[in-house]
Amino acid sequence: YWLSVPADASNPDSVVVSVLNVSAVLGSQAVLPCKSYRMVWTQDRLNDRQRVVHWDVYSKYYGGNKVERLCDMYSAGDQRVYSSYNQGRIFMPQNAFADGNFSLVIKDVAESDEGTYSCNLHHHYCHLYETVKIQLDITKKAEEASEYWDGEKPVIVALEGSTVTLPCVNRNHIWTERHSEEEQQVVHWDRQPPGVPHDRADRLIDLYASGERRSYGPLFIRQKMNITDTAFALGDFSLRISQLESADEGTYSCHLHHHYCGLHERRIYQVFVTEPVREKKVVNLTTHNIAPAVDPNVVRGHNVINVIIPESRVHFFQQLGYVLATLLLFIVFLIIVVLVTRKRRQRAYKIFLCHTFSRKDVNLKEFTVDTTDLAQYRSEDIRLDYKNNILKEKAEQARGFPAKNIDLDK
């Protein structure tokens, strides 16, 4: 199946992606088509006439609502003025394509020159287009001459009879420098084995429009896969794979780059290899001593056995390692949070104790003193083994005085 997204001609960075499934027979030759007959992908000898600038004007002075071509200029030719009235009166700099200055100079400005001018830059080879619009108003008062921006385009108010310059400057190298576009084209093929992501694809072939070719990988792969030498002349960059094997399965991608124009196209192919259908033959069981004849149409297998270890298990363990590492980091982070919290609590408790024992604002007026502690002991020795009940009662009376509130301030 195909999935195509057309490139936008106005956007030089647009990308075209195509996907195609290809099934081939084991041992046969497969051709992965990658064709583009647009001029930008083929060689072109008319490099000097691919860049052009022309000025147009939209004026209502004569009552018509039409756009008139004033002049144009190619990168390798002289500028051309369309009206005899404007000959020698309007012109662009001769070194416009070298300096990137395509401004239009108008001498002896008249009322008929009033209108909206457009500077159009075209690059036919790269399919690029740029337009700059400027509005020109004519006045007969010198104090009214000015330049301002109306929100969409610059507006120039020029004095009648003066010389005015309508600016149009673009110094991008694509409009100024004269490169050899053919040397900026390159095509390369990549291959992704099953289970390998696209960022780890293997480079197969690099082919430059200048004639340089680079092949990668082992020798037997370089001999199996090939692109014709007339690829850029015909626009056919198809990849031919001879003697297909099961190891050739995977995702192939064709990349077309044009560094000068900033264009890129990509086509993707899924290649599946199947074994050829073998014909069934009836064997005569009575002739046991005669071996069956060898069928030349039957494709014999290779003596070399390719053992391919599936990468899905490795991918699973890799993902599992990521999960375990994340879980371990979370546990370590949780332990650190618990230790920090406990340390802060112990520090707060110590500060609280120090603050409590250092307080000195004790109210001595409400301090209660037990008088029994201040009573003087009598000289007589009160023993626990009393001789009679009278001595026992005296001892209890001496220790049983009630508590009094004593004001220590007095």
pLDDT band of 11, cuts 50, 70, 90: very low
pLDDT band at 377 (very low <50, low <70, confident <90, very high): very low
More confident residue, 375 or 328: 328
- Return the closest-CA partner of residue 102 out of 173, 167, 174, 179: 167
Residue 372: count of CB within 10 angstroms of its CB: 12
Q: Write the CB contacts of 406 (distance below 8 Å, at least 6 apart in sequence).
A: 369, 371
- Positions of E strands within 38-153: 51-59, 66-74, 80-81, 90-91, 104-106, 115-123, 128-139, 146-149
For 42, half-sphere exposure in the C-beta direction (CA atoms, 13 angstrom radius) is: 12
DSSP assignment string, 370-385? -HHHHSPPPSSPPPSS
Q: Are 110 and 128 in contact (CB under 8 A)?
A: no
Instruction: Scan for tokens 């071996």, then name that residue.
Output: 291
* Identity at 155, one-letter amino acid code: V
Q: Which two tokens stand for residue 44?
A: 């072109």
CB 115 within 8 A of CB 58: yes
Show me where the domains of the chain are located: 15-44+181-274, 51-175
pLDDT at position 318 is: 77
Homologous superfamily in CATH for domain 51-175:
Immunoglobulins (2.60.40.10)
Would 15-44+181-274 and 51-175 be classified into the same CATH topology? yes
Is 60 exceeded by the pLDDT of residue 182?
Answer: no
CB 243 within 8 A of CB 27: yes
Q: For tokens 């003025």, what's the residue?
A: 81
Contacts for 18 with CB less than 8 Å, ≥ 6 apart: 2, 3, 4, 266, 267, 268
Transcribe 381-405 into DSSP letters. Answer: PPPSS-SSHHHHHHHHHHH-PPPB-
194, 273 contact by CB (below 8 A)? no
Looking at domain 15-44+181-274, its CATH class is mainly beta
Q: What is the mean pLDDT of residues 399-408?
A: 64
Amino acid (one-letter) located at 235: G
Q: Which pLDDT tens digit goes with each residue over 245-301?
A: 888 888 888 888 887 777 788 888 888 878 776 666 555 545 444 445 555 544 444
User: Model confidence over 48-80: pLDDT tens digits?
Assistant: 567 899 999 998 887 777 789 999 998 877 889
